[in-house]
Amino acid sequence: MSRSGTRSRHGGASRSEIVATVVVVVLVALAVFALWPDSPSGSSSGTGTDSSTAGEPDGDPAAADPVALASARAGAALDPCPAPRPGAAPAFDATAAGPLAGVTVPCLGADGTVDVGAALAGRPALVNVWASWCAPCREELPALAEYAARPGSVPVLTVDVRDDPVAALSLLRDLRVTLPAVTDPRNALRTALDIPPALPASYVVRADGTVARVDPPIPFRSADEVAAAVTKLGAS
C-alpha cells in the first residue's frame, strides 16, 4: 500500500499532489476573476442582510455626493445611456421575450434611469458586468471599447455593480473608456441575468430578447475575442 504524500504503486497521484493541484487551480481562478463582495468595500456586515434592502443600496448614484458625482461624470464623459429607438418594437413582454423586460436601473453617466428591455428591444447587444474593484475588469474594459468602435459591432452596455459610482467613473476616465454604463443598486439586473458571484461577466442579448451568457467567462483580452463571442452566440 502507498503512504500519504507518495504515489500509489499504480502510478496515481498522491493526496499531497491532488491538494497542490487544487490550490493552484484556486489561485489561478482568483487571478482571473474578482469575487463579488458583500459591500463596495468588500466587507460583510455580518447580518446576512443585502444592502439593497437595508436602505443604502450599493452603487446608487442618487446616494453619492452630488458635487463629486457631477465632477466625476464630467471627467468620464460617457456615451449616453441607451433609450428606446423611435419606431422600434415595443418593450419586451416579460413572458415571451426574455429576462430583461421591465428591468429599470439608474444611468451611471447622467441623471435618469434606463428601461433596459425597452432600450435594447429589437436589436442585438452585449451586456458586460464589471466594477472598479475588479482587477480583471480593468483589463477587459478597453477591449470592449475597442470592439464597440468597430464598424458592424453590436451596442455594448456596461453594468457597474456593488461599487462607488465616483470610483467607477474615475476608473472609466483613467481607462479612456466611454461606453454607456448603468448601475444595479437593487440587484434587478443581477436577478434577471442570474449573474454569478464573480466578475467580469458578459451576456449576449439577441434581437428577440433572449439572453446567453458568455461561457466560459474568461475576461476578454482583445476586440477580436469580443467579436468572436458575439458571433458564436448569435448576436452579430
Could you tell me the CA-to-CA distances from 187 to 52, 103, 130 in Å, in that order?
A: 7, 10, 14
> Three-state SS for 53?
helix
Helices (H), ranges, the chain: 15-32, 66-76, 116-120, 135-148, 165-175, 188-193, 223-232
- Of 188, 181, 178, 189, nearest in space to 78 by CA: 178
β-sheet with 125-130: strand ranges across:
181-183, 156-160, 125-130, 201-205, 211-213
Please, is 14 exposed, middle or buried when counting C-beta atoms within 10 Å of its C-beta (0-12, 13-18, 19+)? middle
Taking phi first (over 0 means left), then psi (-120 to 50 degrees means alpha), and beta for anything else, what does residue 152 get? left
Q: Which CATH superfamily is domain 34-232 in?
A: Glutaredoxin (3.40.30.10)
Q: Confirm if 177 and 144 have CB atoms less than 8 A apart.
A: yes
The DSSP code for 46 is: S
Query: Rounded to an integer, what distance in angstroms lies between the CA atom of residue 159 and that of residue 189?
Result: 9
First to last CA, the chain: 58
Could you tell me the CA-to-CA distances from 60 to 6, 22, 38, 106, 109 in Å, in that order?
A: 54, 38, 15, 7, 12
What pTM does this model have?
0.77
What does each of the 236 residues of the chain score in pLDDT, given as a tens digit?
A: 444 444 444 455 555 544 444 333 333 344 455 665 654 444 333 333 333 333 344 788 989 999 999 999 999 999 999 998 776 555 444 444 689 999 999 999 999 999 999 999 889 999 999 999 999 999 999 999 999 999 999 999 999 999 999 999 999 999 999 999 999 999 999 999 999 889 999 999 999 899 999 998 899 999 999 999 999 998 76
Secondary structure (DSSP) of 165-222: HHHHHHHHHHHT----EEE-TTSHHHHHHT--SEE-EEEEEPTTS-EEE-SS-PPP-S
